[in-house]
Amino acid sequence: MMRVAAVVVLAVGLTVLSPSSGSADAALPRPPAPAPCGQGSWVAGTVELCHGELVYRDYVYDDFGARTALAVPPFDPLSLAPLPSLPDLAAYGGYPPAGAQRSEDQTDLVALRLYLAGGTVHVEAELNTMFAPGVADLVLLVDRDGDPVTGGGTVPGVMANPSPATPLRATGWDDLYRLTGGDPAANTITASLPLPPAPHWKLWAVVTKADGTAMNVAFRGTGEHGAWWEDEQADALASGDITRFGQTVDTADLRHEVTRRARVAPGTIVERVYISATPLGEGVSDTGVPGPGAAPGSPAQSISQAFTMLGKYQPYGFYEPTGPAPHGLELALHGLAENHAARFYFPGFASPRRFATVMGEDRNRIIASPLGRGWRGWYSSYSERDVMDVLADVEANYAVDHDRVVISGYSMGGYGAMRIAALHPDLFAGVVNWVGYTGDVFNGTPLQDQFASNGSQGGADVNALELVGSLRNVPMVALYSGADELVHVTTALALEQQLDVLRVPSTFYLHPVAEHLTYALADDWHKESLASADDVRVHDPAHVTFRTDRRIFEPDLGLVPNRAYWVSGIVPAAGGYADVDALSLGCGKPEPVLTDTHAAGIDPVPWVSQVVQVTGSTPRAAANELHLTLHNVASLTIDTDHACLHPVGLAYRVVTDGPVTVRFGAGSVLSFDRAGTYVGP
């Protein structure tokens, strides 16, 4: 028979006494090093001991409860129609409104911390979202004697699965504590519990809705998987039994203030979480916070830009290969209506996909897949900030070869990969683009850019086709489909032509019989993995081309794309694109020779390719000489050290369509007060 020694309700902010309860207690720039124990970013599901404090840190946005017929992932990769509001799904319902929105994130455990003070265990649970106290409860089960044979059974008042009705149960627990209330300012629920008498005891923690429905379970380890890294939780709650999610606590570890950092072996797909310096609030907004792309209300409303995951804790999918460090790194951007698990666990597939093996393990690359602040961030503004913050977090915590950082993306993510690489070309060794939206549904037709204000650019803030000239030194691998129902073949051919005309090193594959999801479903990835295998970041190239636009500057987010290699401080003279074409002869670097080739193949379906590749070089004598061709540029700065130039005796040729000031790192300045061609020393 089940034995319950104590059932205690702790209302935070009040004092409730019982014989066994005691009382209740009321996108950064690249960080230089990993954070101290229990602080900073983390691998979800890990437990650490930090100077005697036990710290468990959970997955984020994973509070979907038991797997039921209605508990489907909140996105649909096969449709671009507006997604249903999550509160309309019975499995997710029951949360009160939070201002003007409904948030399904109000039972999302972020961290559970406990430490010992005398004979009392102090517990603090942090939730990702807490708009008001009492929406969520924390249920703690304690096996106080460390004996799994005694106690255990059904947990009173807690339902593991609402349909069919299944009570929560676990083996071996003796005491039950239900913590209610909470502090919305800190998103925490805190309490003090009596120290169990056994030297080793066990703890389970479950966050429930106020009605007792279990939604999020702690201590799940790093082996979770699925669309939101909650499949193990969903199945356990469906069965009602969470015994395997208990955590054994050694009282001596707490008393002796032991520190034991979590160690996660490479070769496993996990979720990492970093702390954003630019949150949009907290919770999950079904409608989203509009971004600079097409706004809701346009004809393209279903694919408009909006940020739906608002809080400071932002997750990303992660894979560290088993090969030697330092590793390369691939940022893998997901598509519209997908999330950060898409390339690892494509919706509808229970087992991991081969993406991590083929693009990661085979290339000795870390794979990091940002969430991008939700399923339709379009990789500008807060979504771009998320990508840059993920890059910073990986580089701060793992040994990364900075010369082998590749950015890739599928569909919307392919657009993001092209856009971000073109705006920050000196960060990347290459681009891999699967059926990337090119920026305008009319690209490749006479209507290109004619209807952008009416939503033809969807959620894109700029037309990627107009940016790819900045990739002169960043090779791209692109895969497109002849029968694509979403990214039409006319737009793909327009990109192919643009890459050829601008002489961007590239491998362009066209698969005539493929459609939009062919590559994700085929789970092949081999030819693009091989095509990008030798990508290495170019340092200080002699020839730099770069395009920017004042309308995409967001200084509040640290996003001001006004530099490339040894050219910086680019100030557009007016609205519209500002273009810089800069050639330095100072380093005497040879001129690359580009050659066109064509090929054909059948993997994963028949394809033909156009390749523009560097096949040699032409020697070029070193000279203190600079050539600039400028459009809509008011001023810019030349880093003379990296361009191997010296202002004294510099021979220059400047072609400008308006007044411009050219500054040099040594403090010299060239100023021209009108359009023209200027030649001089």
Answer whether residue 22 shows pLDDT above 60: no
Task: Among 92-101, 213-222, 277-286, 630-639, name the one with the lowest average pLDDT.
Answer: 92-101
Return the residue matching tokens 């030349």. 638
Higher pLDDT, 25 or 546: 546
CA pair distance 68, 309, nearest whole angstrom: 24
Mean pLDDT of 190-204: 96
Mean pLDDT of 579-608: 96
pLDDT at 178: 97
What are the Cα distances from residue 570, in Å, to 39, 288, 463, 574, 662?
38, 33, 20, 12, 10
Q: How many residues does the chain have?
A: 681
User: Which string of DSSP letters, residue by residue, matches 131-195?
Assistant: SSTTSEEEEEEEETTS-TTSS-EEEEEEEEEETTEEEEEESS--EEEEEE--BTTTTEEEEEEEP
Mean pLDDT of 28-51: 83
Mean pLDDT of 302-311: 89
Q: What is the DSSP letter of 255?
A: H
Q: What pTM did the predictor assign?
A: 0.92
**pLDDT bracket for residue 102 (50, 70, 90):** low
CA pair distance 125, 189, nearest whole angstrom: 5
Token pair for residue 480? 């497109």
What pairs with residue 319 in β-bridges? 269, 367
- Can you give the residue ranges of every domain in the chain? 6-25+44-255, 271-538, 540-587+622-681
Mean pLDDT of 536-558: 97
Mean pLDDT of 273-298: 85
Q: Which phi and psi angles does 266 have, rounded to 5°?
A: -65, 170
pLDDT at 510: 98
133-137, 412-416, 667-671, range with greatest mean pLDDT: 412-416
Mean pLDDT of 223-240: 94
User: Which string of DSSP letters, residue by residue, matches 327-357?
Assistant: EEEEEEE--TT--TTTTTS-TT-SSPPTHII
Residues contacting 659, CB < 8 A, separation 6+:
573, 634, 671, 672, 673, 674, 675
pLDDT at 454: 64
pLDDT at 343: 95
Torsion of CA 294, 296, 299, 305, to 10 degrees: 40
Of 167, 137, 141, residue with least CA distance to 152: 141
**pLDDT bracket for residue 17 (50, 70, 90):** very low
Mean pLDDT of 504-517: 97
**pLDDT bracket for residue 20 (50, 70, 90):** very low
pLDDT at 118: 84
**pLDDT bracket for residue 300 (50, 70, 90):** low
Mean pLDDT of 362-377: 97
What are the Cα distances from residue 156, in Å, to 6, 95, 100?
11, 22, 35
Per-residue pLDDT reduced to its tens digit, 63-83: 989 986 444 444 433 333 333
Q: Is the dihedral of CA 529, 533, 538, 541 positive or negative?
A: negative
Answer whether residue 113 shows pLDDT above 80: yes
Token pair for residue 491? 């737009």
Q: What angle do CA 259, 261, 266 make, to 5 degrees?
A: 165
Q: What angle do CA 415, 419, 422 make, to 5 degrees?
A: 140
**pLDDT bracket for residue 287 (50, 70, 90):** confident
Mean pLDDT of 455-463: 87
Q: What percent of the chain has pLDDT over 70?
A: 88
What are the Cα distances from residue 199, in Å, to 20, 148, 255, 260?
18, 14, 11, 18
Task: Among 86-95, 436-445, 620-629, name the one with the lowest average pLDDT.
Answer: 86-95
Q: What is the mean pLDDT of the chain?
A: 89
Q: 271-538, what's its fold?
A: Rossmann fold (3.40.50)
pLDDT at 67: 84
Mean pLDDT of 459-480: 96
pLDDT at 16: 26
Answer whether residue 30 shows pLDDT above 60: no
Answer whether residue 13 shows pLDDT above 60: no
206 three-state secondary structure: strand
pLDDT at 568: 98
Q: What is the DSSP letter of 507?
A: E
Answer whether residue 500 shows pLDDT above 50: yes
pLDDT at 253: 97
Instruction: State how far Cα 391 lies from the chain centre.
Output: 9
